[in-house]
Amino acid sequence: MTTQEHDALLLDDALIGLNELAGNCNVTHEWIIEHVRAGVLLDAADPDPSRWSFTSRDLLRARYLCTIERRFDANPELAGLVADLVEELERLRVRLRREGLELD
């Protein structure tokens, strides 16, 4: 076992582009473009994909969409709906914790 010290870079300070996102999610560029154009990824997109930049949230969402589509053969819209619901669930969980409450 080895231990080395490494600086971690906050992703939102160094946004990633189409190439990196596609490589990271193990999908093609076309997959990313299809999902952005379907409105399930990246809120406000420039018409030119080479100018897109993705945040932490986009990265996690893209990976989540991939998982749902692969596991359930879902189409982008259905996977997008599941991702929306899970994000809403998480938002409500955070709100409950803020009020000192927890879901059972």
Partner 1 sequence: MEFKDYYQTLGVAREATAEEIKKAFRKLARKYHPDVSKEANAEARMKDVNEAYAVLSDPEKRAAYDQLGRGRHAGEEFRPPPDWDAGFEFSGPGGFGGEGADFSDFFAELFGRQAGRGARFRARGEDHHAKILLDLEDAYRGGSRVVTLRVPRVDDEGRLTVTEHSLDVRIPKGVHEGQVIRLARQGSPGAGGGEPGDLYLEVHFNPHARYRVEGRDVYATLRVAPWEAALGATVRAALPDGEVDVRVPEGSQTGRKLRLKGRGIPAGQPGDLYLVLEVVLPPARTPKARELYQAMARELAFDPRHVPGAST
Instruction: Indicate the residue among 10 and 44 with the shorter CB distance to partner 1.
Output: 10
Rounded CA gap, 55 and 83, in Å?
Answer: 16
Least distance in Å: CB of 66 to partner 1?
A: 7
Q: Is 1 in the site for partner 1 (CB under 8 A)?
A: yes
Rounded CA gap, 29 and 35, in Å?
Answer: 10
Is the Cβ–Cβ distance between 74 and 68 less than 8 Å? yes
Tell which one of 51, 56, 77, 84 touches partner 1 (CB under 8 A): 56
Of 27, 92, 100, the closest CA to residue 64 belongs to 27
Binding site for partner 1 (CB under 8 A): 1-14, 23-24, 26, 56-57, 59-60, 63, 66-67, 70-72, 86, 89-90, 94-95, 97-98, 100
